[in-house]
Amino acid sequence: MAKLYFRYGAMNSGKSTGLLQAAFNYEERGQLVLLAKPEIDTKGADQIESRLGVSRTVDFLIGPADDARAAVHAAAGGRDIACLLVDEAQFLTPAQVDDLLRIAVLDDIPVIAYGIRTDFRTEAFPGSARLLELAHSLEELKTICRCGRKAIFNARLVDGRFVFDGDQVAIDAGLHGEVTYESMCAACYLRESGGRLDGR
């Protein structure tokens, strides 16, 4: 039986780089992989992009109402798939994460999902929460804060200023300015938020 893996970390912890490396490793051995990401992740359109400058087009996008298992079967077209690699898995719905488990267990296709656990308010993304509940294997990918400690949170900046309220998902420049993110340790996050956690 194949397994569902969740590899998570704060932003800039090398998740997309790891996914692209995993794809390369499978394909170097002549095995077929499928790459997917939620279509809500508009950064790079249909591309998975690493900060190191490597990118690749996904085999399919997963829409908010899509059946992920059906999408995999359609993309596979009857071919044997060695692994399904999913980027930005935090944006999946809980039902789609359930589909990932079915793909691994019922279809015997290993699934490796990459994503972040929490948003800029330290609240779990629904997809990540479900992955933490269901995955056979959890692996934390680490990165560092500006102070050198391990980063665990993702702070949002709008036009260079930290914000702690707003919609859970904001990927590109929005109505109120340019949106960027910074990976932070708990101490630096609390310093910037004035002690606020979870939007409070």
Give catalytic residue positions: 88
Decide: helix, strand or coil at residue 95: helix
Task: List phi, psi (to 5°) of 26.
Answer: -60, -50
114 neighbors 157 (Cβ within 8 angstroms) = no
Q: How far is CA 69 from CA 60, 98, 107, in A?
A: 12, 9, 9
- Length of the chain, please? 200
